[in-house]
């Protein structure tokens, strides 16, 4: 029990290749079915049916869309910069499909030849790899906007570069709070630290989660932050001139970013593959053996990987990621689009200073707790949860100038008091 058998180089490479293919295939399948889910959920929200003709419940619709996009005519605007026009979609899709590699998706799997980590590449820089590669995603969008030689596409590209730089700052700062508490940048260790704390980081770092959620929406260019494509202003923004598979590649890239962002939110703030209220699945590599935690005297408690735990944790990870995918769709069909200056205002004047202040607060609280000798565990987490909870409520209270969260009754009373003269359903003022 607890002893660890290391994989030989041959098996390491073999399993590595299998994991690369498997993860890529699954991510692409999720991307394909997310387009269907988006259309079905939006239809549900808008009281329509959505695509339900191709296969049962419309399940073959993504395949039909794929075939259509491949056999459609590829157009090339006469005045486009041809090389960059083709390079754009390729640059857009590349970072999107490789970022999933450092996210652990289940507990380690035991095999007769050794234990296999359920992560494609457990690189020592973990989350920095994701931040670095997703910061390259903007090139594809900006270049295609520029190369199209179309003013709407160009405006979309410019908006994309400004927006993605602005929100990268807020995204990075919200991750720093997680790094403070986890003490390392690898996502494997972040999952382990959440298991040891006994609390998912969303509780002790609730405000960081809200910042991360907002910045992730902006980074993936999803509503309410889809300024770069803003249909009502820019036709479809940076991909106005694209057709067929090149157009489709922008969508695959966008949805792949959404899948990665959802998996990242699940991992950073919701325990990753951890199953709540059950310490049996906790597992970490400690001095050459698998351990579940430390007992009172600080001695490691050994554990051993099992296939059942791997499958259960994989299910837990999928449920969490699936929830955030649904949340993305839900937000898109609920909130209207921001105005461009509002997006910039929120990023630089609200999120940036608030995130900086929050980091100071969390670091200060942790310093006090460490000085008092509080061990890393439930009490530690609960104190941080209390501090963060108060801060989050204060933040939401001051940001929410219309006080929407005070409840619907307030809006109802305001509406009842409104003068009867403007009660026209279309909102026009009556002729005087």
Partner 1 sequence: MTDILFILFAVVAVGGAVGVVIGRSPVASLLFMVATLASVAGIYVLFEAHFLAAIQVLVYAGAIMVLFLFVIMLLNLGHDYRADLRYGSWSLLSLVVVGLTAGVLMQGFSGDVGADLLEDGAAAAAAIDAAVIEKGAVGVIADPLFTDYVVAFELMGLLLLVAIVAAVVLAKPRGSGEG
Binding flag, residue 273, partner 1 (CB under 8 A): no
Residue 177: its H or E element: helix 151-182
- Report, in Å, the least distance between residue 246 CB and partner 1: 18
Binding flag, residue 84, partner 1 (CB under 8 A): yes
Nearer to partner 1, 189 or 233 (CB): 189
Instruction: Supply the DSSP string of 189-206, one letter for each residue.
Output: HHHHHHHHHTS-TTTTTH
Residue 115: its H or E element: strand 114-116
Return the DSSP state at 272. Answer: T
Binding flag, residue 142, partner 1 (CB under 8 A): yes
Q: Any bridge partners for residue 403, and if so which?
A: none
Strand order in 284-286's β-sheet? 284-286, 289-294, 300-302
Nearer to partner 1, 24 or 84 (CB): 84
Q: Which window, 26-34, 60-68, 153-161, 343-351, contacts partner 1 (CB under 8 A)? A: 153-161
Measure the CA–CA gap between 274 and 313, rounded to whole angstroms. Answer: 6
In the list 168, 219, 241, 282, the residue contacting partner 1 (rule: CB under 8 A) is 168
Backbone phi, psi, residue 279, to 5°:
-75, -5
Structure token pair of residue 14: 């073999």
Q: Which window, 71-79, 132-140, 228-236, 400-408, contacts partner 1 (CB under 8 A)? A: 132-140
Binding flag, residue 12, partner 1 (CB under 8 A): no
Binding flag, residue 165, partner 1 (CB under 8 A): yes
In the list 24, 33, 139, 348, the residue contacting partner 1 (rule: CB under 8 A) is 139
- Report, in Å, the least distance between residue 152 CB and partner 1: 14
In the list 184, 243, 304, 392, the residue contacting partner 1 (rule: CB under 8 A) is 184
Nearer to partner 1, 139 or 340 (CB): 139
Contact 207, 114 (CB under 8 A): no
Nearer to partner 1, 60 or 136 (CB): 136
Q: Which window, 40-48, 106-114, 142-150, 243-251, contacts partner 1 (CB under 8 A)? A: 142-150
Q: Please name the residues in contact with 171: beta carbons below 8 A apart, sequence gap of 6 or more.
A: 131, 211, 212, 215, 216, 219
Size of the site for partner 1 (CB under 8 A): 30
- Please identify which residue in the block is written with the tokens 């020592």: 124
Return the DSSP state at 427. Answer: -
- Report, in Å, the least distance between residue 212 CB and partner 1: 17
- Report, in Å, the least distance between residue 83 CB and partner 1: 9
Contact 330, 41 (CB under 8 A): yes
Measure the CA–CA gap between 45 and 330, rounded to whole angstroms. Answer: 8
Measure the CA–CA gap between 374 and 389, rounded to whole angstroms. Answer: 20
Binding flag, residue 129, partner 1 (CB under 8 A): yes
The binding site for partner 1 (CB under 8 A) comprises 84, 123-125, 128-129, 131-133, 135-136, 138-139, 142-143, 146, 154, 157-158, 161-162, 164-165, 168, 179, 183-186, 189
């Amino acid at each position: 029990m607890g002893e660890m058998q290391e994989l030989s180089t041959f098996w390491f490479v073999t399993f590595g290749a299998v994991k690369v293919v498997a993860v890529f295939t699954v991510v692409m399948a999720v991307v394909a079915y997310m387009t269907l889910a988006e259309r079905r959920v939006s239809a549900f929200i808008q009281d329509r049916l959505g695509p339900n003709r191709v296969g049962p419940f419309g399940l073959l619709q993504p395949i039909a869309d794929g075939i259509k996009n491949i056999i459609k005519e590829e157009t090339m605007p006469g005045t486009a910069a041809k090389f960059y026009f083709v390079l754009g979609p390729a640059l857009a899709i590349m970072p999107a499909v490789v970022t999933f590699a450092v996210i652990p998706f289940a507990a380690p799997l035991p095999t007769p030849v050794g234990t296999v980590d359920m992560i494609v590449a457990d690189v020592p820089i973990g989350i920095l790899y994701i931040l670095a590669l997703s910061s390259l995603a903007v090139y594809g969008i900006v270049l295609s906007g520029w190369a199209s030689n179309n003013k709407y596409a160009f405006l979309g590209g410019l908006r994309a570069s400004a927006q993605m730089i602005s929100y990268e700052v807020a995204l990075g700062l919200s991750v720093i709070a997680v790094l403070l508490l986890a003490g390392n940048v690898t996502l494997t260790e972040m999952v382990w630290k959440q298991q040891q704390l006994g609390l998912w980081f969303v509780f002790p770092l609730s405000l960081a989660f809200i910042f991360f959620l907002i910045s992730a929406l902006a980074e993936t260019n999803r509503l309410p932050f889809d300024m770069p494509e803003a249909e009502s202003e820019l036709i479809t923004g940076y991909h106005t001139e694209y057709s067929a598979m090149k157009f489709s590649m922008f969508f695959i890239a966008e949805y792949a970013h959404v899948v990665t962002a959802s998996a990242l939110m699940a991992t950073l703030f919701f325990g990753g593959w951890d199953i709540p209220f059950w310490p049996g699945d906790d597992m970490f590599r400690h001095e050459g053996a698998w351990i579940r935690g430390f007992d009172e005297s600080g001695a490691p408690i050994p554990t051993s990987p099992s296939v059942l735990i791997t499958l259960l944790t994989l299910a837990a990870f999928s449920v969490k990621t699936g929830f955030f995918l649904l949340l993305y769709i839900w937000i898109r069909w609920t909130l209207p689009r921001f105005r461009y200056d509002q997006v910039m205002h929120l990023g630089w004047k609200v999120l940036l200073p608030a995130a900086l202040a929050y980091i100071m607060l969390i670091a200060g609280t942790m310093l006090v707790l460490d000085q008092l000798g509080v061990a890393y565990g439930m009490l530690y987490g609960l104190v941080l949860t209390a501090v963060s909870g108060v801060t989050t409520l204060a933040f939401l209270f001051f940001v929410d100038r219309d006080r929407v969260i005070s409840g619907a009754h307030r809006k109802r009373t305001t509406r009842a008091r409104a003068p009867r003269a403007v009660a026209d359903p279309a909102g026009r003022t009556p002729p005087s």
